Amino acid sequence: MTPPNGTAVALRALVEVEERQWVKTLKRLAWRRTALFGLGVVSIVLFAAAFAPWLTPFDPLEQDINHRLKEPGWQTAEGSVHPLGTDHLGRDILARVIFGSRIALVVGLSAVLISGVLGMAIGLVSGYFGGKVDDFFMRLADVQLAFPFIQLAIAVIGVLGPSLRNIIIVIGVSSWVVYARVVRGEVLSIREREFVQAAIALGSRDGRVLLRHVLPNAFTPWLVVATLDMARVIVIESALSFLGLGVQPPTPTWGGMLADGRVYLSTAWWLATFPGLAILVTVLGINLLGDGLRDTLDPRLKL
């Protein structure tokens, strides 16, 4: 057997250190009970969205006019129970809440991905090159921030027409600022570090320096921002649905269910209550997870 050469040993040691870092991070995260709670909530919501059809015997779209507005826990003649009651068209509310998580998560994840990638790119370029490019993007950020967000979103969606695609695009394209600012701030300091200066001195091209050396080091704060932003996006999606500018009925959305429930507030409180609770718990879970990630990964990050 030949002895392993020096480089391989060093590499393996590096990989091990890196792995240990991750395990450490996870352990530290697990120590924070609130973050663990958030992680639990997020896992449950993801699970519900992924396995929705198997979690409830009812079809979220199936109407049953004879059994409309039944209170939570109501039992049909055949013996099946509606744990959260039925809505004004006799649809099972629990089934609709479970299926509603799909729209929330799809919009949340897609919009965060769009704005996150956009913001990361702008932040990298802005922070790395500085000067006029930086000035331009930061003024653009000011313009973006000057708009009351919902106001702009409803105006644009009102013109383009409400659809899943349009909602994702509008939220995604207009949410890049916070990513760009945080990444830019990181890049400003990473740029001056030795390994970046060394890479530049060795003749690496800007693109390579940015992608191989700067980006990985700006990733952690980006992840924290993305997590917290996901909660905001879910609230905005439900707000748009609530106003009738979200994904259109009969597709179940939490905001749309709330809007329906609002009409029956005095007679059937459960219609508006449960989808709202779903939003509250989901958003709370994501926020707690995000706070935990920030405190563990990057305590100096001010968000």
Partner 1 sequence: MRSYLLRRLWQAVLVLFGVSVVVFLILHLTGDPAALLLPPDATAEDVARFRKAMGFDDPVFVQYVRFLKGALRGNFGESVRHGEPAMHLVLERLPATFELAGAGLLLALCLAIPAGIISAVKRNTPIDYISTVVALMGQAMPTFWLGIMLILVFSVRLGWLPSSGRGDFQHLILPAVTLGLFTTARITRLTRSGMLEVLGQDYIRTARAKGVSEQPVVWKHALKNASIPIVTIVGIELGTLLGGSVITETIFAWPGVGRLSVQAIFNRDYPVVQAAVFILASTFVFLNFLVDVAYTWLDPRIRFR
Kindly list the residues in this chain that would bind partner 1 in the complex (CB under 8 A). 139-140, 142-143, 145-152, 154-156, 158-160, 231, 235, 238-239, 242-245, 255, 258, 261-262, 265-266, 269, 272-273, 275-276, 279-281, 283-284, 287-288, 302
Our CB check for partner 1 shows the closer of 5 and 151 to be 151
Our CB check for partner 1 shows the closer of 66 and 151 to be 151
Least gap, CB of 139 to partner 1 (angstroms): 6
What is the spatial distance between Cα 20 and Cα 134, in angstroms, rounded to a whole number? Answer: 37
- Long-range CB contact pairs, 44-53, < 8 A, 24+: 45/101, 45/104, 45/105, 45/282, 45/285, 46/105, 48/98, 48/101, 49/98, 49/101, 49/102, 49/104, 49/105, 52/98, 52/99, 52/101, 52/102
Our CB check for partner 1 shows the closer of 210 and 246 to be 246
The SS3 of residue 180 is helix
Q: For residues 26 and 296, is the Cβ–Cβ distance under 8 A?
A: no
What is the spatial distance between Cα 276 and Cα 16, in angstroms, rounded to a whole number? Answer: 45
Q: For residues 167 and 157, is the Cβ–Cβ distance under 8 A?
A: yes
Our CB check for partner 1 shows the closer of 98 and 196 to be 98
Least gap, CB of 288 to partner 1 (angstroms): 7
Non-local CB neighbours of 266 within 8 Å, separated by 6+ positions: none
Q: For residues 55 and 48, is the Cβ–Cβ distance under 8 A?
A: yes
Least gap, CB of 49 to partner 1 (angstroms): 18
Our CB check for partner 1 shows the closer of 2 and 132 to be 132
Our CB check for partner 1 shows the closer of 168 and 239 to be 239
Least gap, CB of 78 to partner 1 (angstroms): 32
Find how far residue 292's CA is from the centre of its chain: 15
CB neighbours of residue 125 within 10 Å? 19
Our CB check for partner 1 shows the closer of 219 and 264 to be 264
What is the spatial distance between Cα 115 and Cα 180, in angstroms, rounded to a whole number? Answer: 9
Non-local CB neighbours of 134 within 8 Å, separated by 6+ positions: 126, 127, 184
Least gap, CB of 245 to partner 1 (angstroms): 7
- Residue 42 tokens read as 């997020």
Least gap, CB of 228 to partner 1 (angstroms): 10
Least gap, CB of 80 to partner 1 (angstroms): 28
The SS3 of residue 148 is coil
Least gap, CB of 140 to partner 1 (angstroms): 7
Our CB check for partner 1 shows the closer of 48 and 239 to be 239
Q: Distance of CA 61 to CAs 33, 66, 100, 254, Å?
A: 38, 15, 11, 14
